[in-house]
């Protein structure tokens, strides 16, 4: 049997599973929940979403982001630094890694702290809630935008690096 790097196989598997959960929930928020909440608020049924659905979705969303990043870092292994410095043929996957890292930052620094205010998990005035709503919305939309090139560079940045002349 040929020499198989079990750790790399497991890291790739976990990276994919957690990544599907992370980006899947990101797309749920942006393609489904934002519009649904607007309609639900109009007929007074938003409480079910904000009380029961959103906190649970956010729980899996933010921790899936962490697991995805850690498994990706493990997968890069000794090539981690080359990827983030965009050198030695790792520029394509490195751009994907940078985009994923910016997205992880947005989740934990911009989306989650502001969602806690919006959902009433921490005390906030109405003015603070309105500001939090705008920041969380734009950070979430930014991540949706970044996910498109991120997935392109993740998908082809290493296995199809000839596409980038690398």
Q: Is 114 in the site for other proteins (CB under 8 A)?
A: no
Residue number, 1 or 148, with CB nearest to other proteins: 148
By CB under 8 A, tell whether 166 contacts other proteins: yes
Name the 3-class secondary structure at 39: helix
Residue pair 122/116 in contact by the 8 Å Cβ criterion? yes
Residue 93 CA to its chain's centroid (Å): 16
Cβ closest to other proteins, residue 30 vs residue 50:
30
Residues 6+ apart with CB under 8 A from 15: 68, 71, 72, 74, 75
Q: Which stretch binds other proteins (CB under 8 A): 36-44, 53-61, 83-91, 124-132?
A: 83-91
Among residues 92, 100, 114, 115, the one that binds other proteins under rule CB under 8 A? 92
Q: CA separation (Å) from 39 to 36, 55, 123, 129?
A: 5, 19, 25, 19
Window contacting other proteins (CB under 8 A); options: 1-9, 10-18, 39-47, 87-95: 87-95
Which positions touch other proteins (CB under 8 A)? 30-31, 34-35, 86-89, 91-92, 95, 138, 141-142, 144-149, 152-153, 164-166
């Amino acid at each position: 049997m040929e020499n198989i790097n079990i750790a790399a196989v497991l890291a790739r598997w976990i990276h994919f599973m957690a990544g599907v959960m992370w980006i899947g929930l990101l797309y749920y928020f942006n393609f489904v929940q934002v519009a649904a909440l607007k309609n639900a608020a109009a007929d007074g049924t938003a409480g079910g979403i904000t009380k029961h659905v959103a906190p649970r979705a956010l729980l899996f969303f933010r921790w899936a982001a962490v697991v995805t990043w850690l498994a990706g870092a493990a997968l890069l292994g000794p090539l981690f630094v080359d990827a983030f410095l965009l050198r030695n043929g790792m520029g394509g996957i490195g751009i994907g890694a940078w985009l994923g890292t910016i997205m992880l930052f947005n989740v934990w620094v911009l989306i989650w702290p502001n969602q806690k205010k919006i959902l009433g998990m921490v005390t906030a005035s109405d003015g603070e809630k309105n500001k939090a709503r705008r920041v969380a919305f734009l950070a979430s939309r930014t991540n949706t935008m970044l996910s498109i090139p991120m997935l392109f560079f993740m998908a082809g940045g290493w296995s199809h690096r000839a596409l980038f002349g690398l």
